[in-house]
Amino acid sequence: MSDNSIDLTTLNELKEIMGDDFSELVTVFISDSHIQLDDLKAAIAASDAEMIRRIAHTIKGSSANLGIDHLSAICKELELKAADNNIDSADELLNSIVNEYNDVKIALEKLI
């Protein structure tokens, strides 16, 4: 996990806003993202550029909301490539996304 994986300012602000619901939010994010990653794997296996773009877009947005900036950035890269129908390096990016997700998951679970 890199240093810029999680923007702690955003996350702390969110913790303050959400209060008791914060742990639920983190749980929801972890499980939803997990499902989306499975979908993303399937879309890449099927070379479905449009589906890849949509899922990358969704993870990009939801991770940005929680201040998970690095994951959001890789997803954005994949989204843009998929939009250009350029999915040759999708497997590579998928690996980075999965690795980053796993790191973030561990870090987040420590917070709740």
Partner 1 sequence: MKILIVDDELSNRMILSAILKKEGYSVVSAVNGQEAIEVFQREEPDLVLMDIMMPVMDGYEATQKIKALSQEKFTPIIFLTAMTDDQALRRCVDVGGDDFLSKPYNKVIIKAKIDALERMSQLYNTVYKQKRELVAHQEHESKEQEVARKVFDSILNPGCLSAENIKLHLSPISLFNGDVVLAAVKPTGGLHVLFGDFTGHGLAASLGALPLSDVFYSMTAKGYSIHDVVREINRKLKHQLPTGMFLAACLVEIDTINNILKYWNGAIPAAWLHKGNSVVELKSRHLPLGILDDSSFSDKVDIIKINDNDKVILSTDGILEAENSSGEMFGVERFTNCLQVNMNNTDSADKDSKIDLFEHILDTLDNFIQGQEQSDDVTLGVISCDMAYINQLASQRGSYKKFVPTHWEFELLFYYDCIKTIDPVPLINQIMGEIQGHQIQQDKLSTVLTELFCNALDHGLLGLDSSIKSSPEGFMQFYTDKEERLNKLDSGSIKISVKNIPNNTGGDLFIIFEDSGQGFDVSSLEKTQTDKESPLFSGRGLSLIKNYCQSVSFNDTGNRVECIYSWSNS
Give the residues lining the site for partner 1 (CB under 8 A): 10, 13-14, 17-19, 21, 24-25, 28-29, 32, 54, 57-58, 60-62, 64-67, 76
Closest CA to 62 of 110, 104, 1: 104
Please say which residue, 47 or 65, places its beta carbon nearer to partner 1. 65
- Alpha carbon separation from 106 to 30, 54, 101 (Å, rounded): 10, 26, 9
Task: Report the nearest approach of partner 1 to the CB of residue 18 (Å).
Answer: 5
Please say which residue, 3 or 19, places its beta carbon nearer to partner 1. 19
Task: Report the nearest approach of partner 1 to the CB of residue 111 (Å).
Answer: 15
Q: For residues 36 and 42, what is the distance between their CA atoms, to the nearest angstrom?
A: 10
Please say which residue, 10 or 96, places its beta carbon nearer to partner 1. 10
Q: What angle do CA 90, 59, 112 make, to 5 degrees?
A: 125
Q: Which amino acid is at 22?
A: F
